[in-house]
């Protein structure tokens, strides 16, 4: 006879089968003393037998290996894409991560890699001060909007978040393709920038994909490659910081998840730096077409899993 415990934050809960307590969350159902169960529950206290100096280390279970493999693959691939195109880390990483963890956890895991990779790109591309002065209205409105909208990750169930994120991902590819070559009139740059900041915050609240409106907006300004890469990196950087604050304030994530996000920086930066070495041999147009096709498939997969209640 199975007895269910009280659900915890993020839809998690405890399940007892034959006296053995298991933890259920967006990642799956795991033994309560396993590392993944502690990760999902957000516990920080030391458990007997858990990795510690002078103590035994518990064996890694299959679900833990699966989650670790998905996280590494997601951020390495996202880093590669960002290194080649200058954007795309969360667009690639989030749908891949959603196969192993819940959308709120996936969104939180992307934060540290976004901050570090974009900070690195902003510092290496140059024109930093010019970009900050030009786009501060966009950065300010987006920061406020993201801080407020982060609470949506707590209020919306994971299946709905999967559907919304999948729809946003597919729609973004379509809009980016249709808007290619469009030039925004100079007198509309300021109001369009403010509107973009608000829209980015709203999308970020349900998917963490707050960069999509920014890409569309900056692409319409006719910026050179260096200025575009600096601008997108600076705006992403200043958007991710308040978003992390909002996630923590509203309880959408826990400190252990944010610690895991810091570790995810490693595969992301490896992919980013590897792409910097191989970028000269890549046809940009073909690369974007292949990437768009993959992202659309991932978006449909998220929608199907959301409808199925995954």
Residue ranges per structural domain of the chain: 3-59, 63-307
d(CA 101, CA 118): 24
Q: List residues bridging with 23 in a β-sheet.
A: 14, 30
Residue-averaged pLDDT of the chain: 76
Helix (DSSP H) and strand (DSSP E) numbers for the chain: 15, 4
What pLDDT score was predicted for residue 309?
A: 73
pTM of the complete model beyond 0.75 = no
Nearest CA among 212, 34, 8 for reference residue 102: 8
pLDDT tens column, 41-56? 444 444 333 333 333 4
Residue 59: pLDDT above 50? no
Tokens at residue 254, please?
């826990």
pLDDT at 88: 81
What's the whole-number mean pLDDT along residues 220-239? 83
* Average confidence (pLDDT) over 293-308: 84
Greatest mean pLDDT among 87-101, 214-228, 296-310: 87-101
Give the pLDDT mean for 160-180.
84
Q: Quote the CA–CA distance of 207 and 64 in Å, as a whole number.
A: 24
Q: Are 138 and 196 in contact (CB under 8 A)?
A: yes
H-assigned helices in the chain: 35-41, 62-85, 89-97, 103-109, 111-125, 128-134, 136-149, 152-155, 158-178, 189-207, 211-219, 225-249, 255-263, 265-278, 284-307
**Would you say residue 299 has pLDDT above 60?**
yes
Q: Of 242, 217, 106, 233, which Cα lies nearest the Cα of 165?
A: 106
Least confident of 27-41, 111-125, 221-235: 27-41
Give the three-state DSSP class for 29.
Answer: strand
What is the arithmetic mean of pLDDT over 109-131? 82
Residues 6+ apart with CB under 8 A from 249: 147, 150
Q: Which two tokens stand for residue 12?
A: 């998690």
Residue 153 reports pLDDT greater than 60: yes
pLDDT of 113 reads: 92
Of residues 76 and 47, more confidently modeled: 76
Q: How confident is the model at residue 64 (pLDDT cuts 50, 70, 90)?
A: confident
- Per DSSP, 237 falls in state H
Q: What is the mean pLDDT of residues 177-189?
A: 84
Mean pLDDT for 253-268 is 89
Please say whether the beta carbons of 248 and 211 come within 8 A: no
CA 57, 248, 10, 260 torsion-angle sign: negative
The answer to which of 37-41, 55-59, 69-73, 236-240 has the lowest mean pLDDT is: 55-59
Q: Which of 120-134, 144-158, 183-197, 236-250 has the highest mean pLDDT?
A: 183-197
Average pLDDT over residues 276-289: 70
Q: What is the pLDDT of residue 58?
A: 40
Q: What is the pLDDT of residue 284?
A: 66
The residue-averaged pLDDT of 13-35 equals 50
The pLDDT value recorded for residue 245 is: 84
């Amino acid at each position: 006879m199975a007895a269910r415990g009280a659900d915890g934050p993020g839809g998690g809960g405890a399940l007892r089968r034959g006296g053995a307590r298991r933890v259920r969350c967006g990642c799956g159902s795991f033994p309560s003393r396993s590392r993944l169960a502690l990760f999902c529950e957000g516990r920080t206290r030391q458990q007997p037998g858990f990795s510690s100096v002078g103590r035994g280390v518990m064996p890694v279970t299959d679900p833990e290996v699966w989650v670790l493999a998905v996280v590494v693959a997601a951020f390495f691939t996202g880093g590669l894409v960002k290194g080649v195109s200058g954007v795309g880390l969360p667009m690639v990483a989030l749908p891949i991560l959603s196969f192993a963890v819940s959308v709120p956890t996936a969104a939180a895991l992307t934060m540290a890699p976004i901050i570090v990779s974009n900070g690195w790109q902003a510092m290496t591309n140059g024109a930093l001060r010019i970009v900050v002065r030009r786009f501060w209205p966009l950065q300010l409105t987006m920061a406020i909007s993201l801080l407020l909208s982060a609470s949506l990750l707590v209020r919306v169930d994971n299946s709905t978040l999967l559907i919304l994120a999948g729809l946003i991902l597919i729609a973004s590819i379509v809009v980016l393709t249709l808007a290619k070559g469009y030039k925004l009139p100079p007198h509309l740059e300021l109001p369009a920038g403010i509107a973009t900041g608000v829209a980015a915050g709203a999308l970020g609240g349900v998917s963490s994909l707050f960069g999509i409106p920014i890409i569309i907006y900056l692409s319409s300004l006719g910026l050179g490659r260096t200025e575009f890469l600096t601008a997108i990196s600076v705006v992403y950087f200043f958007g991710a910081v308040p978003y992390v604050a909002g996630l923590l304030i509203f309880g959408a994530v826990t400190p252990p998840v944010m610690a895991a996000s810091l570790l995810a920086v490693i595969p992301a930066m490896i992919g980013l730096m590897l792409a910097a070495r191989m970028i000269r041999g890549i046809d940009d147009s073909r690369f974007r077409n292949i990437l768009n096709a993959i992202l659309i498939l991932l978006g449909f997969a998220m929608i199907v899993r959301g409808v199925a209640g995954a």
